[in-house]
Amino acid sequence: MSVVTRFAPSPTGMLHIGGARTALFNYLFAKHHNGKFLLRIEDTDRERSTPEATTAILEGMDWLGLVPDEPPLMQFERAGRHAEVAEEMIRRGTAFRCYATQEELQARRDLGEEKRQAAKAEGLPDDEKARLLAEAHELLAPYRSPWRDGAAAPAPDASFTVRLRAPEGGERILNDGVQGQVKIQASELDDMILLRADGTPTYMLAVVVDDHDMGVTHIIRGDDHLRNAFRQIPIYEAMGWQIPEFAHVPLIHGADGAKLSKRHGALSTLAYREMGYLPEAMRAYLLRLGWSHGDQEIFTDAEAAQVFDISGMNKAPARLDLDKLGQVNSHFMRLADDERLFALLKPYWEESGPMGDAEPRLRAALPHMKDRGTTLPELAQSFAFLLAKRPLELNKNARKALTEVGLDRLSGLRDELRRVTQWRTDQIAEAISSFCAAKDLSMGQIGQPLRAALTGGLPAPDIAPVLEWLGQDEALARIDDQLAAAQGPAA
């Protein structure tokens, strides 16, 4: 059997990270089995579904690289097919036309509620109370329609809904890939509506028909749909269709253990892109959120596809941990290709204007500075000393380092640096140490004013590579700026 999985979001909002994780699990499971990963947009709720939400979901999936193997299927377009299946069930006797009106159903519920309240009355004899409760229970129980045996219409033009003839008696058992064996009583299921009075299909019918027609073999989704599985399976049975395997994954919780909500931080997948996380980091992080394989923390995409299985999914809800995501992101930023990382950092560098002649410096430094942040903006920020415009603004520490003595030493070093012919870290380091040796200075004594002049006091790595990345002209010019400033304005 060839594996087919699907992700079936409702386009009523953004792609939230719980959804992204569901999509990822389905994607990896399909890849693991050389199967197909499909996408279905469940836009049957015409009031809440929007094209903007569909676009946002597609954009989120695209960013995460979760590309479906076929164009997305739009559920609403298939309403005709859904109705056709309901008709077929009527022919098979597994569904029926129900002529009960909304009013009748409401009256039934109201009566049930009345009896339940009446049973609470004080001083009621026990047997009377028991009788009322039993009647209330009957009236409020999952609805089994009086039309379920297919009685004729009360009038030729009577309006009707099509309902599934719910399974009778005993237990219903689901062997869920994550939750294990789950049981409910068949009596908990109602004769649910498949087609409304206006002929439109219900969500429950649409899901099953689509999953069947798409050839879905495994349904991996949030455990908020666990009970739906018990309502959906009878539709497969009614049509004599193969029932897919189910795996209901616990929802993601916040760091405090409560269900994930806005106050835990961003819920939208694309918000993580805006915050500066790489898609591969997001994938690797989401993968470990509720799934494990030994104690390996970080998986490449190829590794993930190779080892992903349902048995590695946890039954306990996973907690979102932004520190961990930062670590994973930092790992993938270090691995990222220079060109790509440059392009990703560029917008941050250009936030306050074009980078101009700083570009070669940034390019030179990039391969050596990839580990200096947990997000793209944080990493971009660590290059600030290369972007700084001359004459550099000095912070307090830099001003302190540029004392008269410091400047005097700097002026001597400047001449030494000017004579360096091969502007490379090793040669530069060599020039600095020979200057220190000649003047009997420690590295600290020259390092501090030098660093102050080159960076203005901004954080920067080792000074010799910093000099190399700046280039000889810029480095000397930055030193000259400080020497000139100390002389006071030119006369």
Tell me which residues are annotated as active site: 262
Smallest separation, CB 141 to ligand GLU (Å): 26
Q: Which residues bind ligand GLU (CB under 6 A)?
A: 8-10, 42, 207, 221, 225
Closest separation in Å from C-beta 42 to ligand GLU: 4
Q: Which tokens sit at 64? A: 């995460």
To the nearest whole angstrom, how small is the minimum distance from the Cβ of residue 116 to ligand GLU? 32
d(CA 359, CA 22): 40
Q: Are 251 and 224 in contact (CB under 8 A)?
A: yes
**Residues sharing a CB contact under 8 Å with residue 54, sequence separation 6 or more, in sequence order:** 11, 41, 43
Least CB distance to ligand GLU at residue 56 (A): 13
Q: b/e string for 464-483 if b means 16 or more Cβ within 10 A?
A: bbbbbbbeeebbbebbbbbe
User: CB–CB of 310/247 below 8 Å?
Assistant: yes
Cα–Cα distance measured from residue 477 to residue 414, given in angstroms and rounded to the nearest whole number? 10
Residues 69 and 38 sit within 8 Å (Cβ to Cβ): yes
270-275 long-range contacts, CB within 8 A, separation 24+: 270/14, 270/15, 270/56, 270/59, 270/60, 270/63, 272/17, 272/325, 273/63, 275/375, 275/377
Of 207 and 432, the one with the shorter C-beta distance to ligand GLU is 207
d(CA 97, CA 115): 29
The C-alpha atoms of residue 396 and residue 267 are separated, in whole angstroms, by: 40
Q: Minimum distance between the CB of residue 200 and ligand GLU, rounded to whole angstroms?
A: 17
Return the number of the residue (207 or 328) whose C-beta is nearest ligand GLU. 207
Please give the backbone phi and psi of residue 108, each rounded to the nearest 5 degrees, phi first.
-65, -45
Q: 54 or 455: whose CB is closer to ligand GLU?
A: 54
Which of residues 9 and 373 has its CB atom nearest to ligand GLU in the complex? Answer: 9
Q: Give the residue with the Cβ less far from ligand GLU, 10 or 145.
A: 10
User: Which one, 74 or 485, has the nearer CB to ligand GLU?
Assistant: 74
Least Å distance between CB 16 and ligand GLU? 10
